[in-house]
Amino acid sequence: MPRPAAERTVGAMATTTTKIQPRALVRASGGPRYAVALAVDALGTGLLRPFLLLYGVTVLRLSAPVTGTAMTAGIVAGLLCMPAVGRWLDRGARSTVVAASMLVRVLGVALLLATPAGHVWLFATAALFLGIGNQAWPAAHAALVATVAQGRERDAALAGARALRNAALGVGALLATVCLAGGTTALRALAVVTACAYLAAAVLAWSVHVYVHPAEAAPAKDRDDEPTPRMLALLAANVVYVFCLNVPEIALPLVLVTQLHASPVWPAAVFVANTVLVVTLQVPVTVLMSRFSRRTVLALSGVVLAASYLGFLAATSLGNGWGAPAVAAVSVVCTIGEIIYAGSATALVTALAPAHVLGRALARFQLSTGFGLAVSPAVITALAPLGPAALWGSLAGATLLSASAVAAEKDQGTRLGGCRGRARAGL
Give the residue from 236, 235, 234, 245 showing the smallest Cα distance to 337: 245
- 227: confidence class by pLDDT, cuts 50, 70, 90: low
pLDDT given at position 7 = 32
Q: What integer is the mean pLDDT of 136-162?
A: 91
pLDDT given at position 181 = 75
Give the residue from 141, 100, 13, 5 showing the smallest Cα distance to 424: 5
- 2: confidence class by pLDDT, cuts 50, 70, 90: very low
Q: What is the mean pLDDT of the chain?
A: 85
Q: How far is 290 from 293, CA to CA, in rounded Å?
A: 7
- 405: confidence class by pLDDT, cuts 50, 70, 90: very high
Q: How far is 357 from 349, CA to CA, in rounded Å?
A: 11
Q: How far is 222 from 326, CA to CA, in rounded Å?
A: 53
Question: Please, where in the chain does CATH 1.20.1250.20 lie?
Answer: 30-211, 225-408
In 58-143 the beta strands, taken as DSSP E runs, fall at none
Domain spanning 30-211: CATH superfamily: MFS general substrate transporter like domains (1.20.1250.20)
pLDDT given at position 417 = 41
Q: Is the dihedral of CA 322, 323, 327, 328 positive or negative?
A: negative
pLDDT given at position 174 = 86
Angle in degrees, 0-180, between the axes of helices 358-383 and 319-352, rounded to the nearest 10: 160
pLDDT given at position 230 = 72
Q: How far is 330 from 134, CA to CA, in rounded Å?
A: 30
Q: Using alpha carbons, list the distances in angstroms from residue 118 to 112, 126, 263, 390.
A: 12, 14, 35, 39
pLDDT given at position 204 = 93
Cβ count near 63 (within 10 Å): 11
pTM of the model: 0.86
Q: How far is 270 from 100, CA to CA, in rounded Å?
A: 34
pLDDT given at position 51 = 80
pLDDT given at position 413 = 46
Q: Which amino acid is at 169?
A: L
- Indicate the range of 81-90, 206-215, 415-424 predicted with least confidence: 415-424
Instruction: Give the total residue count for the chain.
Output: 427
Could you tell me which residue, 219 or 44, shows the higher pLDDT?
44
pLDDT given at position 5 = 32
- 172: confidence class by pLDDT, cuts 50, 70, 90: confident
pLDDT given at position 69 = 87
Domain spanning 225-408: CATH superfamily: MFS general substrate transporter like domains (1.20.1250.20)
Contact 140, 89 (CB under 8 A): yes
pLDDT given at position 320 = 82
pLDDT given at position 183 = 80
- Indicate the range of 129-143, 162-176, 217-231, 374-388 predicted with least confidence: 217-231
Q: What integer is the mean pLDDT of 193-221?
A: 81
Residues of the chain above pLDDT 90, percent: 58
Residues of the chain above pLDDT 70, percent: 87
